[in-house]
Structures are given as structure tokens and as C-alpha cells.
């Protein structure tokens, strides 16, 4: 299948499709933390870099099998997500946002000085194991599991925390456990996407995972619509394609990108698909109920 694709689809488009897939995994991870549970995290690129570096070092320097390296990267990212989840028990809102920014910056500076990670130069020459089929296979599994999770008792508990934490607690939800859970699962996905990214680009450096990268992922979630799986997917698709489309304006690309964000937020303040859940779409299409 992969051979078929590479033969008939232009390499440039194939590359964009793969990056869209990786970005969907990133956006769905952050959506779980920020969109669904309402815990503003602005350091998702930090988790991504942990996954990327761990997986890259394991395959390059320890000749680990690719799947094991991916899994190890994702698990290590999940562990850090768990650690960051703990202060959320006491911090909220923008204080939490600041801690996540700080965490991601510390990770970036750490990798800047990390000998096995090639310091500022970064790592290159990872085996290009990430294929189109693999990425989209993982994307489909992640979407299905995510939908399953959000439509479960746990998922509704997470939404409840976002809507009103005190009311959620009064209803018997263990808010502490749920918040840490959201952080752990979300950063697992971030680490997974990082590992895939590293083995697709075959080159990673600390500056790839800076504050702007975290912001880019947050933009996908908010632009698409907070807490919505189709929204996060749409956000990831648009924000991956937009910079490519804007190549025609060359130097003015980022100028348009910035302006576009402002205009979109003014006209669609709740995101393009704010709070549309897969469940609702199903209901609308199959039962012809109009909500």
C-alpha cells in the first residue's frame, strides 16, 4: 500500500498528509487536557520533544525496534504529564498555564545542553520508519479510542470538570484523579506524535519544540472548537495546510497567519466546530434529530 501511494501521489502532498496525521494526534492529546477538561496547557511541545528525543535516541544509539522506541517515548512523556498533572491539584487557570509554559521551556533548555541529544545541533539520521500507512493507522485508532473515552462515564466526568469543578466534585467525581488522568493520556499522545515526527523528519532540534510549537497545537484545538474531536481534527488539517497555502504570499506568510487567527476568533469565537461531538453528529445523521 505504501509503495502504491508513493508511486501515485506526489511526494509533497504525501508529506503534508503525514504531517496532518501527526498534528491530529498532537491536537487530540491537547484537546483532552485543555478542550475537554478545561486545564489550560501551553507546553504541549514539551511532551512532544520528550517523545521525539527518547524514541530517536533509542533507535539510533541502542538499535531498539521502532515500535518499542515509540512506545517508550510516549510512556516517558506520559510520566512527565503525570508529574505536571500533580501541581494542577493546587493551581488553576493561568497559574497552571504558566507552569506548563515553564516546564516546556525547561525541557527545551535541557535538550539544548543534552550531550546524547546533540545539544543545539540536534539529532539527525533517524531511520525513516514513519510511513503514511502507519501514521494514519495510528490516527484512526487514536480517534476511535478518544471517542470511546469521551462518550464514557470518565469522559463525561472530564467535561463536568471543565463546566464547573465544584459542582463536579459535589457530584462525586474524583476531580484530582480525573485531571491527572487527562494530563497523562494527553501527554502520552504528545510523546507518541513526537516519536513519529522524529522518525519522519529524520532530524530534530530543540528549537523545533519551542513555545511557538506549543501555541500552534493550542491554536488547532481552539480554532477547531474546544472539546470536540471533529473540531480538533479540522483545526489540525486547517493549520497544517494554511501555512502551505500561504506560501504564495511568501514573506508575508506569517503576517497573514497572525491576521487570520484574529479574524477567525472574531467571527467564530467558539471555534469552527465548538463542542460538536462525534456522538451528536451520529445522532443528527442517523436519527434525523436536529439539536
Is 271 among the residues that bind another protein (CB under 8 A)?
yes
Under rule CB under 8 A, residue 109 binds another protein: yes
- Check binding of 165 to another protein (CB under 8 A): yes
- If we measure between CA atoms, which residue out of 107, 96, 123 comes closest to residue 40? 96
Looking at 173-181, 200-208, 241-249, 256-264, which segment touches another protein (CB under 8 A)?
256-264
Question: Does 99 participate in binding another protein (rule CB under 8 A)?
Answer: yes
3-state SS, residue 123: strand
Q: Give ∠ CA 213-274-134 in degrees, rounded to 5.
A: 50
Question: Of 13, 62, 67, 95, which lies in the binding site for another protein, with binding defined by CB under 8 A?
Answer: 95
Cell (9 digits) for 181: 488522568
If binding is defined by CB under 8 A, does position 219 make contact with another protein? yes
Least Cβ distance, residue 262 to another protein (angstroms)? 4
Closer to another protein at the Cβ: 105 or 151? 105
Nearer to another protein (CB atom), residue 109 or residue 145: 109
Minimum distance of another protein from residue 79's CB (angstroms): 17
Sign of CA dihedral 285, 288, 289, 290: positive
Q: Cα separation of 116 and 211, whole Å?
A: 23
Three-class DSSP labels, 161-218: HHHCHHHHHHCCCCHHHHHHHHHHHHHHHHHHHHHHHHHHHCEECHHHHCHHHHHHHH
Contact window for another protein (CB under 8 A) among 45-53, 123-131, 180-188, 219-227: 219-227
We find the least distance from the C-beta atom of residue 166 to another protein, in angstroms, to be 5
Say whether residue 32 binds another protein (CB under 8 A): no
The three-class DSSP label of residue 124 is strand
Residues constituting the chain: 291
**With CB under 8 A as the contact rule, which of the stretches 66-74, 190-198, 218-226, 236-244 interacts with another protein?**
218-226
Dump strand ranges (E) for the chain. 123-124, 203-204
Determine if 275 is a binding residue for another protein (CB under 8 A): no
Binding mask 168-187 toward another protein (x if CB under 8 A, else -) reads --x-----------------
Q: Quick one: 118 or 195, whose CB is closer to another protein?
A: 118
Output phi, psi for 123, to 5 deg. -110, 140
Q: Helices then strands (H, E): number in the chain?
A: 13, 2
CA angle 129-135-136, nearest 5°?
150
Task: Tell me: does residue 251 bind another protein (CB under 8 A).
Answer: yes
Smallest distance, Å, CB 222 to another protein?
A: 5
- The residues binding another protein (CB under 8 A) are 34, 40, 87, 90-92, 94-95, 97-99, 101-103, 105-106, 109-110, 112-113, 164-167, 170, 211-212, 215, 218-219, 222-223, 226, 251-252, 254-255, 257-262, 265-266, 269-271
Amino acid at each position: 500500500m505504501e509503495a502504491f501511494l508513493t508511486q501515485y501521489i506526489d511526494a509533497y502532498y504525501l508529506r503534508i498528509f503525514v504531517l496532518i496525521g501527526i498534528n491530529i494526534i498532537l491536537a487530540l492529546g491537547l484537546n483532552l487536557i485543555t478542550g475537554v477538561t478545561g486545564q489550560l496547557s501551553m507546553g504541549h511541545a514539551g511532551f512532544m520533544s520528550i517523545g521525539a528525543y527518547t524514541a530517536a535516541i533509542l533507535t539510533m544509539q541502542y538499535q531498539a525496534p521502532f515500535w518499542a522506541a515509540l512506545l517508550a517515548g510516549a510512556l516517558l512523556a506520559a510520566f512527565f504529564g503525570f508529574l505536571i498533572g500533580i501541581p494542577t491539584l493546587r493551581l488553576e487557570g493561568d497559574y497552571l498555564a504558566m507552569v506548563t509554559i515553564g516546564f516546556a521551556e525547561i525541557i527545551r533548555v535541557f535538550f539544548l545542553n543534552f550531550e546524547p541529544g546533540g545539544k543545539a545541533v540536534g539529532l539527525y539520521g533517524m531511520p525513516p520508519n514513519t510511513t503514511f500507512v502507519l501514521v494514519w493507522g495510528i490516527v484512526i485508532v487514536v480517534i476511535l479510542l478518544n471517542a470511546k473515552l469521551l462518550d464514557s462515564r470518565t469522559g463525561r466526568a472530564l467535561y463536568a470538570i471543565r463546566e464547573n469543578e465544584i459542582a463536579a466534585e459535589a457530584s462525586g467525581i474524583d476531580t484530582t484523579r480525573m485531571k491527572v488522568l487527562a494530563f497523562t493520556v494527553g501527554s502520552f499522545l504528545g510523546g507518541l506524535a513526537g516519536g513519529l515526527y522524529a522518525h519522519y523528519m529524520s532530524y530534530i532540534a530543540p528549537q523545533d519544540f519551542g513555545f511557538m510549537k506549543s501555541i500552534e497545537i493550542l491554536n488547532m484545538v481552539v480554532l477547531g472548537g474546544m472539546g470536540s474531536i471533529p473540531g480538533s481534527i479540522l483545526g489540525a488539517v486547517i493549520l497544517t495546510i494554511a501555512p502551505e497555502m500561504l506560501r504564495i504570499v511568501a514573506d508575508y506568510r506569517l503576517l497573514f497567519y497572525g491576521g487570520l487567527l484574529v479574524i477567525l476568533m472574531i467571527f467564530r469565537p467558539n471555534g469552527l466546530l465548538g463542542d460538536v461531538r462525534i456522538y451528536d453528529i451520529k445522532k443528527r445523521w442517523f436519527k434525523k434529530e436536529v439539536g
